[in-house]
Amino acid sequence: MKGSVKFATPEGQPRKIWLSRDNGTGKPTVVDSVELGPDLTYSFRIKQDHPGIYKLNVMYWDHISFWSDADVKVASRGYDTAKIKMKIPHFYFVEGSSDNNFINQMELNSTNGYLRSVDEYNQEYFAKQHKEKTGDSAWANYWVGRRKYNDLRKDQDEREDLLMKVYKDRPVLIYALRSAGSPHDTTQYASTLRQLDHLIKLYPWLSEAKNLKNTIIRNRAQMMKLQPGQPAPSISYPDNFGKLQGLEKYKGKYLLVDFWASWCGPCRQAIPKVKELHEQYKAKGLEVVSISIDTDKKAWEKAMADENMPWEQLLSDNKDKTMELYQFSGIPTLYLIDREGKIVTKFTGYSPEAEATVKQAIEKGISGQAQPEKKVIKAMSM
C-alpha cells in the first residue's frame, strides 16, 4: 500500500506511521511501522495468508481503515496545521478494490453522521442560549418542535443497513459486524451471529469472523453484568497526583462517572454542561469522577488545566481493559451510580435527555431502579 500526507510535519512532532491488523478480538495487532519520507510519502508491503482489515495510524493524527485484497493508495492531511486543533474524524477515500469501497462508504456514513450530530447539538445549545439571553424563543421553539423526515441515528442506520445487504456475501462485511452485536437488542445480536456464521461457511479461512463471534459473545456476557441494579465494577486508577483511587469511597452519594479523553471533541463540549449539573446537584449528593483513556499523560494534564473540572480526575492505566470492563467503544460514556454503588443508567454522548435522566434519578431518590441505557448524540468511536 502507498500513502501520502499533504502537510509537512512540524518540528518535534512524530513522523511515524503504524500499520495494524484487526483480528476480530477487539484488540488490533500492530504489524509494521515506517518513517514518513522527506517527500511526505510512505509505503507498506503486507505479508498475509488472506485479506483482512488494516488500519493506518498516521503520526497519531489520521486513522484510516482499508481492506487488503489489492494494492491500495490513500492521501490524507497528515498533522493538522490549524492554530486551534480539535480531534474530529475525517473521511479519506482509499483507492483499491470493490470490497474496499464497502469500507469507504461505511466510513463516509459514519463521519457524516458524527458531524451532523455535532451540528444538531450546537444548534440546540445556541438556540437555548439565545432564548435565555434575549427572551426570544422563536429559534429554540422551532428547533425543539421541527418536523424531521428522520432523526440522525435512524438516517445513518438505514444507509448502513443497505450497504450491509449489498455486501452480505463478501468477507469485508466483518468490518460492519464488529460493532453490530449490541446485547441490548436481542434481535440484532442474533442477526449478527447469523451473519458471522454465514461468512464462516462461505469463507472457512476467515479466522477474523470466528474470533469476532467469540468476542461478541464474551462482550454480551460482560454487558449483562452492567445492567441497571448491578454493582458498578471496581476500579483503581491513579489520580493527577499519582495516588491510586477507587469508586468505593463515593458510596452514600450519587456518582456520575465520565469516561473521556483530551482529544475527544464531544467530551470537551460536554464538560461545561456536566459542571452545571454538578453545581446544581452537589448539595443533593451528586459527585463526579472523570476517568480519562488518554495514552498521552501530558495531553491529559493540559486538558485538565484547560477545563478546570472541580472533581476527581483519574487516568486509566490500560484503556483497552477499561473499555472492556465498562463496555464502551465511544466517548464520552457516562454511568450514573446510586448511593449503594449500583448502576442506575448509562449513556453514550451527552444531551438534554441524558441530563434529564440524571436529574430525575436524584430528585426521585432512585436506588438501583432500572433505567434503560441512553444512546444520545453520537460520540467519538475508538
Catalytic positions: 264, 267
Q: Where are the alpha helices (DSSP H) in the chain?
A: 98-134, 138-145, 152-166, 174-177, 186-202, 207-224, 265-281, 297-307, 319-325, 352-364
Among residues 266, 237, 243, which one has the least CA distance to residue 325? 237
The CA-CA-CA angle for residues 129, 154, 380, to 5°, reads 60
Report the alpha-carbon distance of residue 50 to residue 170 in Å, rounded: 14
- Read off the DSSP letter of residue 260: E
Asked if 335 and 346 count as a contact pair (C-beta separation under 8 A), the reply is yes
Cα 300–357–379 angle (5° rounding)? 40
Q: What is the largest CA-CA distance in the chain?
A: 65
Q: Dig out the grid coordinates for 7 from the structure.
A: 502537510
Sign of the dihedral defined by the CA atoms of residues 302, 307, 308, 311, in that order:
negative
Residue 89: phi and psi, rounded to 5, are -70, 145
CA distances from 221 to 46, 329, 375 (A): 35, 16, 20
Q: Is 146 exposed, middle or buried (0-12, 13-18, 19+ CB in 10 A)?
A: exposed
User: CA–CA separation, 200 vs 382, rounded Å?
Assistant: 26
Take residue 260 and report the three cell numbers written for it. Answer: 473521556
Q: Name residue 2's beta-bridge partners.
A: 43, 73
